[in-house]
Amino acid sequence: MISFIVPIYNTAAYLPACLDSLLKQTEKEIQVILVDDGSTDDSLVVAKRYAAQDKRIEIYTQPHAGQSTARNLGMTHAKGEFIAFVDADDTIEPNWAEVHLQAIEGVDYVQSQHPRNKYQFTAAWGRLYRRETIANLRFVEGMIYEDIVWSVDLWMSGAGCRIIDYKGYHYRLNPTGTTAQRHPEAEQRVFAELKKRVPSASRKNKLILLYTIIRLKIHFLKS
């Protein structure tokens, strides 16, 4: 079974399309975990309406604390052998789960192509993970760009990955989303979190951290 974890914050306009795409998966053994992060719009109303129609949906709520906290909460309720993260304003193709399940044999997680940049590997979504692989990984709470640090922690754990030639995740650039504009203070927080990991890292992981820091500096300068 796949546990889909969907953090929700003021995405009532997009949530129906997201949930429709999950519930229409050709792989029917799924758990859809919705974590409402203190939404002030009708997101929770939409979530409850869908949950009343499909028992595979579970809803959890928390005071507004950010996407990291919501994802961490969702992970504590995941029952599936596999976990996938989907943002509430995004959608996936009906065969997304089926394709990734077929590809994950022999590895810890499967990554499909990023919808905007084929070689962008710092987003937690768009992947299928074995739950045991990420059981001890948690998103750093209270920060933006949390995917980056979490992904680096995943790489440094030595988890084996398979990259597949498949574009089935549809990313929506939400104009009100946290990553729709630059956040200089948040960027510095990311660098600080990565640098904290350097002293205790192995030689290989130091190279991973250095490479990530350099690539991020270039990326943020260009954005």
Structure pTM?
A: 0.92
Three-state secondary structure string covering 43-65 = HHHHHHHHHHHCCCEEEEEECCC
Q: Can you tell me the distance from the alpha carbon of 38 to that of 44, in angstroms, rounded to the nearest whole number? A: 9
Per-residue pLDDT of the chain (223 residues; tens, 9 = 90+): 999 999 999 999 999 999 999 999 999 999 999 999 999 999 999 999 999 999 999 999 999 999 999 999 999 999 999 999 999 999 999 999 999 999 999 999 999 877 666 556 788 999 999 999 999 999 999 999 999 999 999 999 999 999 999 989 999 876 665 555 678 899 999 999 999 999 999 999 999 999 999 989 988 887 6
Q: Which CATH fold topology does 2-175 show?
A: Spore Coat Polysaccharide Biosynthesis Protein SpsA; Chain A (3.90.550)
Phi, psi of 67 (to 5 degrees): -65, -35
Pairing type for strands 127-130 and 109-112 reads antiparallel
Task: Tell me how far apart the terminal alpha carbons of the chain are, to the nearest angstrom.
Answer: 38
- Tens digits of per-residue pLDDT, 88-120? 999 999 999 999 999 999 999 999 877 666 556
Give the angle 134-73-152 at the CA atoms, nearest 5°: 35
- Tens digits of per-residue pLDDT, 11-24? 999 999 999 999 99
Q: Can you tell me the distance from the alpha carbon of 186 to that of 198, in angstroms, rounded to the nearest whole number? A: 19
Q: Can you tell me the distance from the alpha carbon of 19 to that of 16, in angstroms, rounded to the nearest whole number? A: 5
Check: CB of residue 124 under 8 Å from CB of residue 85.
Answer: yes
